C-alpha cells in the first residue's frame, strides 16, 4: 500500500514536472492570441478528479507555489487559486459521473474558468469590468484550448508511466473497513 502511494506521488511529481517544463518552453509557441493551454492547471484538475480533497488541495497548492516562484509576479496568487480550484474539483468529482470522457472535459473547462475568475479577482481587486473583460478575452479561449490540448498530454504521460486512467484513490488516511 505504501509502495503504491510512493509510486503514485512519484508519478504525480513527474506529471506536474513535465507540465512545468512544457508550459515554460513549448506552450509559449502554441499561443493563439492571448489564449494558451494551461497544462499545470490541467494536471491539478486531473489529479483532483481522482484523488481525495486533502491530497488535491495540497497538490494544487504546491503546483501553484512553484508556478508563482518560477514565473515571477506576486507570490501566493497561483497557490491560492489552484488549491481552491483543486478542492472544489475534488468535491464536485464525487457527485458526478467522472468516468465519462466528456464529463472530464467539461470539468476541466469549468475549472479553468473558476481558476481564472479567482485569479483575476485578486489581480484586479474591485474592478468588475476588468475581471469580466479578462475572463472573456483570455479565459474562454484558454479554457477551450486547455480542453483540446490537455487530454493529449494526460494520455501520453499515462502511457509513458503505465498508468491506468480513472483509478480512484484516496490518499488521506482511511481506516480499513471491518
Among 5, 6, 34, 91, binds other proteins (CB under 8 A): 91
Q: At what angle do helices 2-24 and 39-50 cross, to 10 degrees?
A: 160
Among 8, 41, 89, 90, binds other proteins (CB under 8 A): 90
Contact between 4 and other proteins by CB under 8 A: the answer reads no
Among 6, 31, 76, 155, binds other proteins (CB under 8 A): 76
Which range touches other proteins (CB under 8 A), out of 36-44, 64-72, 100-108, 140-148? 64-72
Phi and psi for 73 in degrees, rounded to 5? 75, -165
Contact between 141 and other proteins by CB under 8 A: the answer reads no
Pick from 93, 105, 103, 85: nearest CA to 148: 105
Pick from 128, 172, 163: nearest CA to 43: 163
Which range touches other proteins (CB under 8 A), out of 39-47, 75-83, 132-140, 154-162? 75-83
Which range touches other proteins (CB under 8 A), out of 101-109, 142-150, 154-162, 164-172? 164-172
User: What's the gap between Cα 14 and its chain centre?
Assistant: 14
Q: Are 116 and 78 in contact (CB under 8 A)?
A: no
DSSP H/E element including 106: helix 101-123
- CA distances, 31 to each of 23, 47, 55, 155 (Å): 11, 25, 31, 21
CA 64/CA 25 separation, integer angstroms: 18
**x-or-dash string of contact with other proteins, 44-63, rule CB under 8 A:** --------xxx--xx-xx--
Contact between 153 and other proteins by CB under 8 A: the answer reads no
**What is the contact surface with other proteins in residues (CB under 8 A)?**
17, 20-22, 24-26, 29, 52-54, 57-58, 60-61, 64-66, 68-70, 72, 74-77, 79-80, 83-84, 87, 90-91, 93-94, 122, 168, 170, 172, 174
Amino acid at each position: 500500500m505504501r509502495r503504491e502511494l510512493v509510486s503514485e506521488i512519484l508519478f504525480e511529481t513527474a506529471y506536474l514536472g513535465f507540465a512545468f517544463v512544457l508550459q515554460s518552453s513549448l506552450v509559449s509557441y502554441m499561443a493563439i492570441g492571448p489564449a494558451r493551454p494551461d497544462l499545470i492547471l490541467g494536471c491539478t484538475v486531473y489529479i483532483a478528479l481522482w484523488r481525495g480533497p486533502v491530497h488535491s488541495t495540497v497538490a494544487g497548492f504546491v503546483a501553484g507555489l512553484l508556478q508563482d516562484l518560477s514565473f515571477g509576479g506576486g507570490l501566493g496568487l497561483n497557490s491560492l487559486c489552484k488549491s481552491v480550484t483543486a478542492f472544489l474539483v475534488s468535491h464536485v468529482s464525487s457527485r458526478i459521473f467522472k468516468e465519462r470522457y466528456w464529463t472530464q472535459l467539461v470539468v476541466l473547462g469549468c475549472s479553468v474558468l473558476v481558476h481564472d475568475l479567482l485569479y483575476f479577482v485578486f489581480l484586479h481587486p474591485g474592478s468588475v469590468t476588468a475581471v469580466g473583460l479578462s475572463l472573456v478575452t483570455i479565459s474562454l479561449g484558454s479554457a477551450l484550448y486547455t480542453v483540446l490540448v490537455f487530454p493529449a498530454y494526460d494520455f501520453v504521460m499515462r502511457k509513458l508511466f503505465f498508468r491506468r486512467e480513472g483509478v480512484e484513490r484516496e490518499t488521506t488516511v482511511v481506516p480499513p473497513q471491518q
